[in-house]
Structure 1
Amino acid sequence: MKKYPLILDCDPGVDDVFAILLAHVTPEIDLKAICSVSGNVDILKTTYNARLIAGLLDAPCIVAEGASRPLLREPPPLGTVHGRDGLGGYAHEFGEDRLHTLSALKALDVYRKILLESEEPVYIAAVGPLTNLAILFLAYPELKSKIAAVSIMGGGIRRGNITPYSEFNFHKDPEAADIVMKSGVKLLLCGLDVTLRATLTEKEINTMKAYQSEFSEFSMKILSSYTSKDTAIHDPCAILALTEPEKFVYEDQYVEIDTREGITRGMSYVDSRKSQEKKPNCRVFYDMDQGFFRKSILDALKPEV
Structure 2
Amino acid sequence: MDIFGSSEAAKILVIDDRPLSRVMAVDLLSANGYDVIEHDGISDIFTTIITASPDLILMDLKMPNYNGFDICQELKQNPDTRSIPIILMSVADDNKSRIKSQEVMADAFMSKPLESMILLPEVELLIQRKRLSEWLEQMQKVLFLISQALEKRYLPEGKSGIRFDKLAQGFGEYLNLSPVEISALILASHLHDIGTVAIPDAVMMKQGKLNEEERELIKNHVLIGEEICKPMQNRRGIAQIIRHHHERWDGSGYPDGLIGESIPKLAQIFQILDIYEALTSHRPYKQPYSNQEALNIITEEAEKGWRNVKLVQQFVAFMENKQLT
Name whichever structure is richer in strand by fraction. 1
* Bigger radius of gyration: 2
**TM-score of the pair, normalised by structure 2:** 0.25
Higher relative contact order (CA 8 A, sep 6+): 1
Name whichever structure is richer in helix by fraction. 2
